[in-house]
């Protein structure tokens, strides 16, 4: 528990509330994952929260956001990624090209996602990125 009495779960809920798109929230949560340590790390002072609390809250939130995006119909996924780009209008083409080259689906999926979820996410994301590029760029 942080010294100000707020939990890491509260911190995440507050951060998520400031991000309008589900895809933006997914990018945020994936950004907390440290591939070297295979643990979540807060974007705030690490010692402000208990490591176990960070891990549990971040794991839960990452899966929740990931599954929420997967539950959207394809049209909803396209609209959500388009909304993300409205939040980040700079260099859309470069961002899309970079995402396609980086295997973004691997970086955004939580480590606990099943193989089926990962495959669905990869195929949906590939379609969505192509549709967003075709429609808006």
The per-residue pLDDT of the chain, averaged, comes to 86
Domain locations along the chain: 8-136
Tokens of 50: 């208990």
Indicate the range of 20-24, 93-97, 132-136 predicted with least confidence: 132-136
Report pLDDT for 103: 74
**pTM (2 d.p.):** 0.86
Q: What is the pLDDT of residues 6-65, one digit of tens each?
A: 788 888 888 889 999 999 999 999 988 888 888 888 776 657 788 888 889 999 999 999
In angstroms, the CA 104 to CA 108 distance is 6
Closest C-alpha to 127, from 64, 81, 62, 66: 81
Cα-based distances in Å from 26 to 45, 50, 58, 84: 21, 23, 11, 11
Tell which residue, 28, 26, 15, has the closest CA to residue 77: 26
């Amino acid at each position: 528990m942080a010294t100000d009495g707020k939990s890491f779960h509260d911190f995440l809920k507050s951060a998520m509330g400031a991000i309008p798109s589900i895809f933006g929230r997914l990018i945020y949560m994936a950004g907390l994952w440290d591939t070297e340590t295979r643990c979540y790390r807060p974007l705030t002072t690490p010692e402000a929260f208990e490591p176990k609390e960070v891990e549990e809250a971040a794991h839960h939130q990452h899966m929740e956001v990931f599954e929420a995006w997967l539950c959207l119909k394809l049209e909803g996924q396209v609209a959500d990624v388009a909304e993300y780009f409205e939040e980040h209008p700079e260099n859309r083409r470069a961002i899309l090209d970079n995402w396609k080259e980086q295997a973004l689906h691997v970086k955004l999926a939580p480590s606990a996602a099943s193989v089926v979820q990962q495959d669905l996410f990869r195929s949906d994301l590939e379609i969505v990125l192509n549709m967003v590029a075709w429609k808006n760029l």
